[in-house]
Amino acid sequence: MSVTNNEIAERLREIYQLMQLAGENRFRAIAFDRAAQTIESLNEDISNYIENDSLTDIKGIGNSIAEDIKSYAQTGTIEVLESLRARIPEGIIKWLDISGLGPKNIAKIHKQLGISELNELKEACQDGRVASLDGLGEKSAQKILKSIEWMEQFDERCRLDEATEIAEPMYNFLKDREGVQAIEIAGSLRRSNETIGDVDILIGADEKYITDIFDAFVDHKLVVEVLGRGETKSSIRTENGRQVDLRIVKPEQFPAALMYFTGSKEHNVVLRQRARERGLSLNEYGLFQLDDDGNTDFNKPIDYSSETDIYEQLDLHFVPPELREDHGEIEFFESHESMNLVTDDDIRGVLHAHSTYSDGKFSIREMAEACIKRGYEYLGMSDHSQTAAYAGGLTVDDIKQQWEEIDQLNKEFADNEINFKIFKGIESDILSDGSLDYEDDILDGFDFVIASVHNGLDMSRDKMMTRFRNAIKNPYTDIVGHPTGRLLLQRDGSDLDMNELIELAAKHNTAIEINANPRRLDLDWRHGNKAKEVVLMSAINPDAHSKKGIDDISYGVRTARKAKFEKHRILNTKRADELMEWFQSHR
């Protein structure tokens, strides 16, 4: 049978998930996940390797996994997968998304309570059955219940990366259709919100092309249901359950419609009010004069060819889509042409990455080579510290071994005239009292320290604030990692006064990262005004546990732009020597 790279990757990733739930060997499970990532990023069709019997030529594909892939191509089945499916009910796979409920406890609850559906788990948490299990208790049951309720509350929304993965293939498919004169992704996705409801796409096209464009849209291979179809709008549901709305307007209406359907509602209200104050009317159809009675005179349109033209008519400079939230952008762009927001091209290196020393999936060399391949100039390794035993946290001996390896790799790069540097870092747990996870003599040996909270996230505000204050004031804390600890659509963050912490961090010249993992995007963009006011430094960090995870930086850039971060306030826009100087001066 013909198979695709994504199809094979999906089967291997399913094996990885089911192995976790079955309590299989962790490293064997990770091998399947790594193989899935490798195949997803292949530049060639996996079928070529199958036909040539050369699967093991692919780095990370051993004999056993190669046989599994060949089996799937020949029979549509993989023996280990079928065995796992028979043992693990499909319903409990979704339990992996529940914050605080790891594979071991999932297996325990399933086996001892005989339940496999999310609603059954919810009931078992409510009636005390989960709390009665060894190693869980009432506190764990309440955490699980809270996470389930959080997931249910946001079930109609998805993360920024999930929405992007839906929108981009649709956009690329539609942009080359005959008659498409203009096309943009609109709505909250264009504004780079951290979670998205429906995906909105807007097209400018003449009327004679509308039917054919809508035909192509509703017939796309990702579509499983047509929710509605009209003269100017069609809506579909994709195979992952998400809704995509396509609107088609006249080409001359496109800039006004794009502005309107980008939003936000609050930003649009201000724009419409500014228009009225100037004797104009702004709506999705265009910009018009008001008549003597204050009504829109559709016979007197104002000429424009872009969103910039419309903003100029309202005595504003162009407002980047990410900033259109009525969070001070109107006042700023009355008198400023631009904000010099950070861009993807400004990022020179990668900070906050994990290797096989802790819970990463690739070696330091492999992570460094992945950064070099992407054009970056440095990599800041920051594996977990010793308290994070669940994530393979580093002992002092591990640290010294890692430092030696980094020194050897940096010498190798220099000897081969490769302009690349690996920084020695650590993601140190912030302990309950706010201290860091090693003695000062060890902390002093790192080039930089990211200080993060990974446990006790539900501490009272007073205790958590004390914890963070102590960590921020510690001279060895260079960067605070994912400050609230939130997981989007899974759990809320810790109860913190972020304004106070941002002020304190700026005072002590401690950066607070924008964790670019799309499950986090933490620091939240809503704290951007405060961060700008006090000139807080940040770093756009992928928190990469794999080579693919490095690419999450782009989501962090989008969040940083939304939070009004300019290039000069982002640490990893600096050259390696400038960054090292900043780390040293910070000490």
pLDDT in tens, 387-430: 998 889 999 999 999 999 999 999 999 999 999 999 999 999 99
- Continuous segment of H or E residues that includes residue 185: strand 180-186
For the ranges 143-152, 254-263, 334-343, 472-481, which has the lowest average pLDDT? Answer: 143-152
Tokens 């950064």 locate to 371
Residue type, 48: N
Query: Of all helices (H) and strands (E), which one includes residue 188?
Result: helix 187-190
Written as one letter, the residue type at 15 is I
**Residue 154 scores a pLDDT above 70:** no
pLDDT band for position 368 (50/70/90)? very high
Residue of 233, 243, 275 whose CA lies nearest to 256: 275
Task: For residue 311, give every residue at least 6 positions away whose Cβ sits within 8 Å of its Cβ, in sequence order, or none.
Answer: 317, 318, 319, 333
- Tell me the C-alpha distance between 549 and 392, whole Å: 19
Rounded (5°) CA angle 523-529-531: 55
Q: Reply yes or no on whether the pLDDT at 25 is more than 80.
A: yes
* pLDDT for the residue numbered 102: 80
Report the range of poorest mean pLDDT among 39-43, 130-134, 147-151, 284-288: 39-43
Instruction: Tell me what pLDDT residue 40 has.
Output: 75
pLDDT at 151: 74
pLDDT mean over 359-369 = 96
Could you read off the pLDDT of 116-135 as tens digits, one per residue?
888 899 999 999 999 999 88
Cis amide bond preceding 64, omega within 30: no
Predicted confidence (pLDDT) per residue in 212-246, tens digit: 999 999 999 999 888 889 999 999 988 877 899 99
SS3 37: helix
Which SS3 state, helix, strand or coil, does residue 549 take?
Answer: helix
Mean pLDDT of 515-534: 96
Per-residue pLDDT averaged across 267-276, rounded? 95
Q: What's the pLDDT at 416?
A: 97
pLDDT score recorded for residue 196: 95
Region 466-483: what's the mean pLDDT? 98
Residue in the block written with tokens 């017939």: 219
All residues at 6 or more sequence positions from 583 whose CB lies less than 8 Å from its CB, including other chains: 423, 447, 448, 478
Ordered structural domains, the chain, with CATH: 5-153 (1.10.150.110), 158-249 (3.30.460.10), 263-335 (3.30.210.10), 344-586 (3.20.20.140)
CA distances from 554 to 168, 344, 399, 558 (A): 14, 6, 30, 6
Q: Please report the pLDDT score of residue 294 as a whole number.
A: 87
| Counts for the chain of helices (H) and strands (E), in that order | 23, 18
- Report CA 372 to chain centroid distance, whole Å: 22
Rounded mean pLDDT of 293-313? 94
Other C-beta atoms lying within 10 Å of the C-beta of residue 189: 23
Distance CA 318, CA 258 (A): 13
Q: How would residue 21 be classed by pLDDT, with cut points 50, 70 and 90?
A: confident
Check residue 1 and give its pLDDT: 60
Which own/partner contact pairs does 304-312 have at CB distance under 8 Å and 24+ positions apart? Answer: 304/255, 304/256, 305/255, 306/255, 307/255, 307/258, 307/259, 309/255, 310/255, 310/256, 310/259, 310/282
387 near 426, Cβ under 8 Å? no
Q: Across the chain, what does the average pLDDT equal?
A: 93
Task: Name the token pair of 144.
Answer: 């699980």
CA-angle at 317, arms to 308 and 346, nearest 5° = 90
